[in-house]
Chains A and B, each alone.
Chain A
Amino acid sequence: MCRLRILALCLSVGAASAAENGRARVDWISESPTCEAGKSLHTAVRMAINPGWHTYWVNPGDAGMKTSIEWKLPAGWVADSLGYPAPERFSTGDLASFGYKGTVLFPVTLTAPPDFAGTARLEATLSWLACSDGACIPGEAEISIEIQAGPFSLCSDAGIISDAREQIPVDRNGDFKLEVSEQAKLLVLKISPRHPKAPELAQTFAFPASPDAIPPTAEIRFGGVPDTGSWKATVPKSEYATASIRELELVLVSPGPGAATKGVDRPISLVWRKSH
């Protein structure tokens, strides 16, 4: 395929669908304007949030509303769930929330039906809440992309989509065991490696993906437990936790450049479920 034609197709993939309200511009970008029948395609919902505003993670924290999506796909097309990058914490007085500022990409993998031919128009509605220090505005965007049946070709957005996919928390429950125990109004979180090749986690800190277990204002930082090879963090239990915590999902992130140890270079997700 001639480069100019690919470029033209890439530009038209999501161009007509950019929507702006709720203090953010949203569009849907794709790594390729084309996809073969039965194959998968990496795309991303891109949200450019106005300066001074933020939107929310799966666990929004003390206030706010999770960013969510509703799909309207042609027959046979499948979208996996929206990928949420690791958030940052926004604090206002005694309240804290988890979410995003600036430009954030939510990766989505689409799979074409086995009989895909011609052009498919995929639609979705993204809903969110954008808040600043002083106000909250809801947002809703109807977004769409058009994909043509054909061999894979590369759009310039493929680079940022690939980078975004690399930063989605990856399930590492096979490498680490997370245990949660309760001590009065505190939770003791312990992570143990399952095998000698599991990476070092000292100085990583965590965000709770499960709402209502740990107060959003609590900083969750893991320290090494001497002579055991495991890591521990002690945090308050949320005032909203029901009698006893039965499940907790954590997203662990590295403290960043300049930290004493490298920690993890990609956010990891660990889940604990209480056994009976």
Chain B
Amino acid sequence: MKSIIHATIAGAFGLIAAHAAEIGKPAPEFSEKNTSGETVSLTDFKGKVIVLEWVNYGCPFVKKHYSTGNLPKLQETYTGKEVVWLTISSAAEGKQGYYDSAKMAEVSKEQENKASHTLMDTDGTMGKAYDAKVTPHMFIINKDGVLVYDGAIDSDPKDPATADKLFANALDAVLAGTAVEKPKNKPYGCGVKY
């Protein structure tokens, strides 16, 4: 009995230690190709606020945020405020949400995605470095390269217009230099198709 508890505790600490991305700590490094084949890395954006948005255009939760214009509007608004917005697909080849770079560029345009770049994380290394669980899953990195938000786009998948704007409020706080209210919260969505 005792050994079961020890094994469980060891397992529990193992689970906790494995998360590389932690609020208040430097954001994990990444280096991925965008849909034009150019390499995009965390170090390219020193001194800028960065948003990471995990996407799967086939996931009904993501579809809702694009068809209502909610995500494109957020992308446009904040890139206009010098935020670097990266949309990332970590879908493995053959799974829902995967397209090759050319097709992904086409689909992004159809969806009116206005991110600075769309990154092709087909092997899932960036997703796993951040522990991206679902789509949509939002992260914010501040000007000092520290992770300050890891969570949901909003509080309720039913209606972006009336939900509590968890992510947007957090980003406003980061830009204003004030504290983020709910830096880590549980995002809803479809599991990332690694």
**What is the interface of chain A, defined by CB distance below 8 A to chain B?**
62-65, 92-95, 97, 129, 131, 133-138, 185-186, 211-212, 215, 217-218, 221, 223-226, 234-236, 239-240
Top-3 shortest CB links A-B: A135-B96, A63-B191, A136-B190
Min CB distance, A31 to chain B, in Å? 33
Q: Is the CB of B8 within 8 A of A136?
A: no
CA distance A234 to B7 in the complex (A): 10
A-B contact count (CB 8 A): 79
CA distance A174 to B130 in the complex (A): 44
Min CB distance, B191 to chain A, in Å? 4
A sample of 19 inter-chain contacts (CB < 8 A) reads A62-B191, A63-B134, A65-B188, A92-B194, A94-B131, A97-B191, A129-B60, A136-B96, A185-B12, A186-B9, A217-B15, A226-B1, A234-B8, A234-B9, A235-B8, A235-B12, A236-B12, A239-B19, A240-B185
Q: Which residues of A contact B190 (CB under 8 A)?
A: 63-64, 129, 131, 136
Q: Is the CB of A137 within 8 A of B191?
A: no
User: How many B residues face the partner with a CB closer than 8 A?
Assistant: 33
Smallest CB-CB separation from A232: which chain B residue? B5
B193 at the interface (CB under 8 A from A): yes
User: Other than the known A62-B191, A225-B1, A234-B12, what 13 A-B pairs have Cβ atoms closer than 8 Å?
Assistant: A63-B190, A63-B191, A65-B157, A65-B188, A95-B192, A131-B190, A134-B95, A136-B59, A186-B12, A236-B15, A239-B16, A239-B184, A240-B186
Q: Is the CB of A135 within 8 A of B191?
A: no
Given A62-B133, A134-B95, A134-B96, A223 and B60 touching (CB < 8 A)?
no
